[in-house]
Amino acid sequence: MKIGIADTTFARVNMGAVAIDELKRHATLRIERYTVPGMKDLPVACKKLIEERGCDLVMALGMPGGKDKDKLCAHEASQGLQLAMLMTNKHIIEVFVHEDEAKDDRELAWLLEQRTREHAVNAVKLLLYPRELERDAGTGQRQGFPDAGPARQ
Ligand code: RDL
Ligand code: RDL
Ligand code: RDL
Protein backbone atom coordinates (compact mmCIF):
# COMPACT_ATOMS: atom_id res chain seq x y z
CA MET A 1 0.00 0.00 0.00
CA LYS A 2 1.15 3.51 -0.81
CA ILE A 3 0.01 6.72 0.89
CA GLY A 4 0.41 10.16 -0.65
CA ILE A 5 1.12 13.26 1.42
CA ALA A 6 0.22 16.61 -0.15
CA ASP A 7 1.07 19.66 1.94
CA THR A 8 1.71 23.38 1.60
CA THR A 9 4.36 25.99 2.24
CA PHE A 10 1.54 28.30 3.44
CA ALA A 11 0.90 26.25 6.59
CA ARG A 12 2.75 27.36 9.71
CA VAL A 13 3.82 23.88 10.78
CA ASN A 14 5.51 21.23 8.63
CA MET A 15 2.34 19.14 8.44
CA GLY A 16 3.81 16.74 5.87
CA ALA A 17 6.71 15.79 8.14
CA VAL A 18 4.31 15.28 11.06
CA ALA A 19 2.03 13.05 8.96
CA ILE A 20 4.94 10.92 7.74
CA ASP A 21 6.27 10.53 11.29
CA GLU A 22 2.86 9.36 12.53
CA LEU A 23 2.22 7.00 9.60
CA LYS A 24 5.56 5.27 10.22
CA ARG A 25 4.54 4.55 13.83
CA HIS A 26 1.49 2.57 12.72
CA ALA A 27 2.27 0.76 9.50
CA THR A 28 4.92 -0.11 6.95
CA LEU A 29 3.78 1.85 3.94
CA ARG A 30 5.35 3.40 0.92
CA ILE A 31 4.99 7.18 1.08
CA GLU A 32 5.01 9.77 -1.70
CA ARG A 33 5.21 13.46 -0.83
CA TYR A 34 4.20 16.47 -2.90
CA THR A 35 4.49 19.98 -1.44
CA VAL A 36 2.68 22.88 -3.11
CA PRO A 37 2.43 26.62 -2.29
CA GLY A 38 -1.13 26.69 -0.92
CA MET A 39 -4.29 24.72 -0.37
CA LYS A 40 -5.86 25.53 -3.74
CA ASP A 41 -2.94 23.65 -5.29
CA LEU A 42 -3.75 20.54 -3.27
CA PRO A 43 -6.49 18.96 -5.44
CA VAL A 44 -4.31 18.45 -8.49
CA ALA A 45 -1.37 17.37 -6.35
CA CYS A 46 -3.60 14.72 -4.78
CA LYS A 47 -4.93 13.60 -8.15
CA LYS A 48 -1.39 13.28 -9.52
CA LEU A 49 -0.30 11.35 -6.43
CA ILE A 50 -3.13 8.90 -7.10
CA GLU A 51 -3.00 8.65 -10.89
CA GLU A 52 0.68 9.18 -11.67
CA ARG A 53 2.40 8.00 -8.51
CA GLY A 54 0.09 5.09 -7.66
CA CYS A 55 -1.13 6.15 -4.20
CA ASP A 56 -4.02 4.19 -2.67
CA LEU A 57 -5.00 7.07 -0.39
CA VAL A 58 -3.79 10.64 0.01
CA MET A 59 -3.72 13.05 2.94
CA ALA A 60 -4.31 16.68 1.92
CA LEU A 61 -2.75 18.91 4.58
CA GLY A 62 -3.55 22.60 4.66
CA MET A 63 -3.98 25.65 6.85
CA PRO A 64 -6.69 28.12 5.82
CA GLY A 65 -5.89 31.58 7.18
CA GLY A 66 -8.32 33.43 9.40
CA LYS A 67 -9.67 36.01 6.93
CA ASP A 68 -12.94 35.69 4.99
CA LYS A 69 -11.07 35.32 1.71
CA ASP A 70 -9.08 32.44 3.17
CA LYS A 71 -12.29 30.68 4.21
CA LEU A 72 -13.67 31.07 0.69
CA CYS A 73 -10.38 29.70 -0.61
CA ALA A 74 -10.70 26.74 1.80
CA HIS A 75 -14.20 25.97 0.56
CA GLU A 76 -12.94 26.04 -3.03
CA ALA A 77 -9.98 23.82 -2.19
CA SER A 78 -12.29 21.43 -0.39
CA GLN A 79 -14.62 21.19 -3.37
CA GLY A 80 -11.60 20.46 -5.56
CA LEU A 81 -10.60 17.69 -3.19
CA GLN A 82 -14.12 16.21 -3.30
CA LEU A 83 -13.98 16.26 -7.08
CA ALA A 84 -10.56 14.58 -7.12
CA MET A 85 -11.94 11.83 -4.88
CA LEU A 86 -14.91 11.22 -7.14
CA MET A 87 -12.73 11.28 -10.26
CA THR A 88 -10.28 8.74 -8.85
CA ASN A 89 -12.50 6.71 -6.51
CA LYS A 90 -9.84 7.04 -3.79
CA HIS A 91 -10.02 8.64 -0.36
CA ILE A 92 -8.38 12.00 0.17
CA ILE A 93 -8.29 12.76 3.88
CA GLU A 94 -8.65 16.51 4.17
CA VAL A 95 -6.67 17.77 7.14
CA PHE A 96 -7.44 21.46 7.39
CA VAL A 97 -6.71 23.54 10.46
CA HIS A 98 -8.17 27.02 10.30
CA GLU A 99 -5.71 29.51 11.72
CA ASP A 100 -8.46 31.12 13.83
CA GLU A 101 -9.42 27.87 15.55
CA ALA A 102 -6.49 28.48 17.91
CA LYS A 103 -6.19 31.31 20.42
CA ASP A 104 -2.44 31.86 19.89
CA ASP A 105 0.56 30.53 17.93
CA ARG A 106 1.38 27.97 20.56
CA GLU A 107 -2.09 26.42 20.42
CA LEU A 108 -2.07 26.67 16.62
CA ALA A 109 1.18 24.69 16.39
CA TRP A 110 -0.22 22.08 18.76
CA LEU A 111 -3.51 21.82 16.82
CA LEU A 112 -1.79 21.59 13.42
CA GLU A 113 0.32 18.73 14.71
CA GLN A 114 -2.37 16.92 16.72
CA ARG A 115 -5.07 16.99 14.01
CA THR A 116 -2.53 15.79 11.45
CA ARG A 117 -1.49 12.90 13.70
CA GLU A 118 -5.06 11.84 14.45
CA HIS A 119 -6.06 11.94 10.79
CA ALA A 120 -2.91 9.95 9.89
CA VAL A 121 -4.27 7.22 12.16
CA ASN A 122 -7.65 7.52 10.40
CA ALA A 123 -5.86 7.12 7.06
CA VAL A 124 -4.17 3.92 8.20
CA LYS A 125 -7.49 2.58 9.51
CA LEU A 126 -9.35 3.42 6.28
CA LEU A 127 -6.71 1.66 4.25
CA LEU A 128 -5.77 -1.29 6.45
CA TYR A 129 -8.14 -1.69 9.41
CA PRO A 130 -11.64 -0.51 8.40
CA ARG A 131 -13.20 -2.57 11.22
CA GLU A 132 -11.59 -0.23 13.74
CA LEU A 133 -13.51 2.71 12.28
CA GLU A 134 -16.71 0.69 12.38
CA ARG A 135 -16.08 0.03 16.06
CA ASP A 136 -15.89 3.81 16.68
CA ALA A 137 -19.03 4.68 14.69
CA GLY A 138 -21.22 7.24 16.46
CA THR A 139 -18.73 7.99 19.22
CA GLY A 140 -18.26 11.71 18.46
CA GLN A 141 -14.63 11.54 17.41
CA ARG A 142 -12.83 14.81 16.71
CA GLN A 143 -9.29 15.51 15.58
CA GLY A 144 -7.16 17.88 17.63
CA PHE A 145 -9.43 19.28 20.31
CA PRO A 146 -11.18 16.76 22.60
CA ASP A 147 -13.75 14.32 21.21
CA ALA A 148 -17.40 15.39 21.54
CA GLY A 149 -18.38 11.88 22.67
CA PRO A 150 -21.69 10.10 22.15
CA ALA A 151 -24.92 12.07 22.77
CA ARG A 152 -26.43 9.17 24.71
CA GLN A 153 -24.33 7.89 27.61
O1 RDL B 1 -2.14 28.73 -6.81
C2 RDL B 1 -1.43 29.68 -6.01
C3 RDL B 1 -2.31 30.18 -4.85
O4 RDL B 1 -3.47 30.79 -5.36
C5 RDL B 1 -2.71 29.03 -3.94
O6 RDL B 1 -1.54 28.45 -3.43
C7 RDL B 1 -3.62 29.47 -2.76
O8 RDL B 1 -4.11 28.33 -2.10
C9 RDL B 1 -2.86 30.35 -1.76
N10 RDL B 1 -3.76 30.91 -0.73
C11 RDL B 1 -4.43 32.08 -0.95
O12 RDL B 1 -4.30 32.65 -2.08
C13 RDL B 1 -5.25 32.66 0.07
O14 RDL B 1 -5.88 33.75 -0.11
C15 RDL B 1 -3.93 30.26 0.47
C16 RDL B 1 -4.74 30.85 1.48
N17 RDL B 1 -5.38 32.04 1.25
C18 RDL B 1 -4.90 30.17 2.70
O19 RDL B 1 -5.59 30.64 3.62
N20 RDL B 1 -4.26 28.98 2.85
C21 RDL B 1 -3.51 28.42 1.86
N22 RDL B 1 -3.34 29.06 0.70
O23 RDL B 1 -2.97 27.31 2.03
O1 RDL C 1 -11.28 13.93 5.35
C2 RDL C 1 -11.16 14.14 6.74
C3 RDL C 1 -12.11 15.23 7.25
O4 RDL C 1 -11.83 16.45 6.61
C5 RDL C 1 -13.55 14.86 6.98
O6 RDL C 1 -13.83 13.65 7.65
C7 RDL C 1 -14.56 15.96 7.44
O8 RDL C 1 -15.88 15.58 7.03
C9 RDL C 1 -14.56 16.12 8.98
N10 RDL C 1 -15.40 17.30 9.42
C11 RDL C 1 -14.84 18.54 9.46
O12 RDL C 1 -13.63 18.68 9.07
C13 RDL C 1 -15.59 19.64 9.95
O14 RDL C 1 -15.06 20.79 10.00
C15 RDL C 1 -16.71 17.13 9.79
C16 RDL C 1 -17.44 18.25 10.27
N17 RDL C 1 -16.83 19.47 10.36
C18 RDL C 1 -18.81 18.04 10.66
O19 RDL C 1 -19.49 18.98 11.08
N20 RDL C 1 -19.33 16.80 10.54
C21 RDL C 1 -18.62 15.75 10.05
N22 RDL C 1 -17.33 15.92 9.69
O23 RDL C 1 -19.13 14.60 9.95
O1 RDL D 1 -17.03 21.44 16.86
C2 RDL D 1 -15.74 22.01 17.00
C3 RDL D 1 -14.89 21.66 15.76
O4 RDL D 1 -14.95 20.29 15.53
C5 RDL D 1 -15.39 22.42 14.54
O6 RDL D 1 -15.10 23.77 14.71
C7 RDL D 1 -14.71 21.91 13.28
O8 RDL D 1 -15.29 22.53 12.14
C9 RDL D 1 -13.21 22.18 13.30
N10 RDL D 1 -12.56 21.45 12.17
C11 RDL D 1 -12.30 22.11 10.99
O12 RDL D 1 -12.60 23.33 10.88
C13 RDL D 1 -11.68 21.40 9.92
O14 RDL D 1 -11.44 21.98 8.81
C15 RDL D 1 -12.25 20.12 12.30
C16 RDL D 1 -11.64 19.45 11.22
N17 RDL D 1 -11.35 20.12 10.05
C18 RDL D 1 -11.33 18.07 11.36
O19 RDL D 1 -10.81 17.43 10.44
N20 RDL D 1 -11.62 17.48 12.55
C21 RDL D 1 -12.19 18.15 13.59
N22 RDL D 1 -12.51 19.45 13.46
O23 RDL D 1 -12.46 17.54 14.66
Residue 66 and residue 98 in contact, taking contact as beta carbons nearer than 8 Å: yes
70 lines ligand 1 (CB under 6 A): yes
What's the complex ipTM?
0.96
Look at residue 4 and tell me whether its pLDDT is greater than 90: yes
Look at residue 125 and tell me whether its pLDDT is greater than 90: yes
Rounded Cα distance, 22 and 24, in Å? 5
What does the pLDDT read at residue 153?
79
Atom of ligand 2 nearest to the CA of 93: 1
Q: Cα–chain-centroid distance for residue 39?
A: 11
Give the class (CATH, top level) of 2-136: alpha beta
142 lines ligand 3 (CB under 6 A): yes
61 lines ligand 1 (CB under 6 A): no
Atom of ligand 2 nearest to the CA of 91: 1
94 lines ligand 2 (CB under 6 A): yes
Domain residue limits, the chain = 2-136
Q: What is the mean pLDDT of residues 15-29?
A: 97
Rounded Cα distance, 31 and 3, in Å? 5
**Least distant ligand from the CA of 149:** 3
Tens of pLDDT, residues 87-124: 999 999 999 999 999 999 999 999 999 999 999 999 99
Distance 92 CA to ligand 1 centre (A): 19
131 lines ligand 1 (CB under 6 A): no
Residue 99 and residue 66 in contact, taking contact as beta carbons nearer than 8 Å: yes
What does pTM read for this prediction? 0.97
Atom of ligand 1 nearest to the CA of 67: 19
Q: What is the mean pLDDT of residues 59-64?
A: 98
62 lines ligand 1 (CB under 6 A): yes
